[in-house]
Amino acid sequence: MRLPALALLTFGLALGTTALAGHSDKAARVELGRRLFYDADLSRDGTMACATCHEQFHAFADGNRTHPGVTDEPGRRNVPGLGNVGRFSPLTWADPRQTTLADQVSVPVLGTHPVEMGMAGQQGEIVRRLAANPCYRALFARAFPSGDGSVTYPRVAEALSSFEATLISRGSPYDRGMLSDQARAGQKIIRRDCAGCHAGRDFTDLRFHALEAPQPRDLGLSEITGKAADKGAFRTPSLRNVAVTAPYFHDGASPTLAAAIARHGLHYAAPDQAAIEVFLTALTDQSFLTNAALSLPRPGACPVTNRP
């Protein structure tokens, strides 16, 4: 589902109960990035925002196999969740060059393989649209006080990256030490069979692995490196919030946790399978899915100009 154009809202989006005045430059950039994340004026025809594909109740994933862009060109890969993305590098399924959030912004906004938001070569149009909004002009001046504080595309990318770095998910039952006996049994199986790749605090080694024979339509890492050994290799996704980010794998072709586990060549008796899924569900952070500070800002007065 695509979001409607949000340009008319951005002038009047409220900051909530806290005024932007008095915030640090960093906090101002986060709030600006939040507004930009939900603004469809970053797309060619005003039909797509970052949040169109990264929906909060899906842990900022999508719920579809892939998502078409503004030209209706089919998406190539499944939309990943963004929980703790500020800790990740590299950032995407199969491009090791994407190592910083600010640089990665240009992939959906300006990219052409495939076209997503469709603004390739239109950085100036993005600036024109945002600078025409008095509230945005004030927000950019507050977020970037050094120099003239003007609207620029690099500042758009920096603000978006500042917001994305706040997408921290650390409140699951697992984090709070509230695992059931069945979940603990599943955790032991995961540690035994899966920790080679799904390792660390975020259950990912951030490395590229080939689990299957490469598919002609998507050769994975080798598209970038040109190496035969990298064909079909994709970066290990985090398991945090995995129960709400279906479908799975880079192609979104595995609709359930059971299907994704089986696709790894792992097959378990029913009790073990159930225990694994209970543990994976315990990695869901409900507070992350509902945190109002990460949601679409509410309509209201502009937090800087205080104008309706």
Q: What is the pLDDT of residues 106-117, one digit of tens each?
A: 999 999 999 999
Beta-strand (E) ranges in the chain?
208-210, 233-235
pLDDT, position 24: 84
pLDDT at 23 over 70: no
pLDDT at 11 over 60: no
pLDDT at 153 over 80: yes
Lowest mean pLDDT across 78-87, 168-177, 209-218, 249-258: 209-218
**Long-range contacts (CB closer than 8 Å, 24 or more residues apart) made by 205-212:** 205/236, 206/88, 206/89, 206/90, 206/235, 206/236, 207/235, 207/236, 208/94, 208/96, 208/233, 208/234, 208/235, 208/236, 209/233, 209/234, 209/236, 210/234, 211/263, 211/264, 211/265, 212/263
Lowest mean pLDDT across 76-80, 169-173, 215-219, 220-224: 215-219
Please state, in angstroms and rounded to a whole number, the distance separating the CA atoms of residues 152 and 105: 14
Q: Among candidates 83, 34, 32, which has minimal Cα distance to 57?
A: 83
Omega prior to 134 cis, within 30 of 0: no
More confident of the two residues 262 and 5: 262
Tokens of 21: 């005045």
pLDDT, position 305: 57
- Domains assigned to the chain: 7-168+290-294 (1.10.760.10), 181-284 (1.10.760.10)
Q: Stretch 29-45: mean pLDDT, rounded?
A: 96
Confidence band for 291, pLDDT divided at 50, 70 and 90: very high
216-263 per-position pLDDT tens digit: 889 999 999 999 999 999 999 999 999 999 999 999 999 999 999 999
201-219 per-position pLDDT tens digit: 999 999 999 999 998 889 9
Q: Stretch 9-16: mean pLDDT, rounded?
A: 36
Please state, in angstroms and rounded to a whole number, the distance separating the CA atoms of residues 233 and 211: 7
pLDDT at 66 over 70: yes
pLDDT, position 148: 87
- Whole-prediction pTM: 0.90
pLDDT, position 4: 41
